[in-house]
Amino acid sequence: MIEEHPLAQFSYCPRCGSAHFEVHNIKSKQCADCGFVYYFNPSSATVALIENERGELLVCRRAKDPAKGTLDLPGGFIDMYETGEEGVAREVLEETGLRVIRADYLFSLPNLYLYSGFMVHTLDMFYRCTVADASHYQAMDDAAALFFLPPEQIRPAEFGLASIRKGIERYLNGCAAK
């Protein structure tokens, strides 16, 4: 399957509205009328790896598309003016009710995420999160269900988003080891 370049989704200059908004290079478009250059960059997103005292990983079942019903990890888009650590803490609170007291950056992976019919390129930043009390959680927001899984029961193929599958594989291969 050949994917359309993300810049093809933008036909008009966001500054002046001109239809003469043309490919400038592989990463940008330029307006022939006003000269504005738009660079298409990924959106920032976070992913939380939360373990309980038994070393089990908190996973959720997706409540919404894309990949509704598949497994996922808490996380989501970073808001304007948030750091990655603030974004992961907010997303964990919104989806689980858990309060992050420490977020340690581990690694990042690129992803494609279909949102409102628009393919969003993201850079998913994975954090090992320590929470105040891992025993009191509740599925909310984008999470239909939450549960802890021991590492030996985690199957990457059951996770619906490509970057999460890859991140789970890295986690299981020890990159997230304490």
Which residue did the predictor score with more confidence, 100 or 65?
A: 100
Q: What is the mean pLDDT of the chain?
A: 91
Whether residue 178 is predicted with pLDDT greater than 50 in this model: the reply is no
Q: Which amino acid is at 134?
A: A
| Rounded percentage of the chain residues whose pLDDT exceeds 90 | 76
Residue 174's pLDDT is what?
A: 84
Residue 3's pLDDT is what?
A: 56
Dihedral over Cα of 112, 114, 119, 121: its sign: negative
Q: What is the DSSP string of the chain?
A: -PPPPGGGG--S-TTT--S-EEEEETTEEEETTT--EEE--PEEEEEEEEB-TTSPEEEEEESSSSSTTSEE-SEEEPPTT--HHHHHHHHHHHHH-PPEEEEEEEEEEEEEEEETTEEEEEEEEEEEEEES-TT-----TTEEEEEEE-GGG--GGGBSSHHHHHHHHHHHTTTT--
Whether residue 176 is predicted with pLDDT greater than 60 in this model: the reply is no
Predicted confidence (pLDDT) per residue in 89-113, tens digit? 999 999 999 999 999 999 999 998 8
Residue 177's pLDDT is what?
A: 47
| Rounded percentage of the chain residues whose pLDDT exceeds 70 | 95
> Would you place residue 115 in the very low, low, confident or very high pLDDT band (cuts 50, 70, 90)?
confident
Q: Quote the CA–CA distance of 24 and 99 in Å, as a whole number.
A: 45
Whether residue 7 is predicted with pLDDT greater than 60 in this model: the reply is yes
Residue 116's pLDDT is what?
A: 78
Residue 5's pLDDT is what?
A: 67
Whether residue 2 is predicted with pLDDT greater than 50 in this model: the reply is no
What's the count of helices (H) and strands (E) in the chain, helices before strands?
2, 10
Q: How many CB atoms lie within 10 A of CB 54?
A: 8
> Would you place residue 165 in the very low, low, confident or very high pLDDT band (cuts 50, 70, 90)?
very high
Average pLDDT over residues 109-136: 90
Q: Is 8 strand, coil or helix?
A: helix
Q: Which domains does the chain have, with CATH numbers?
A: 7-39 (no CATH), 43-172 (3.90.79.10)
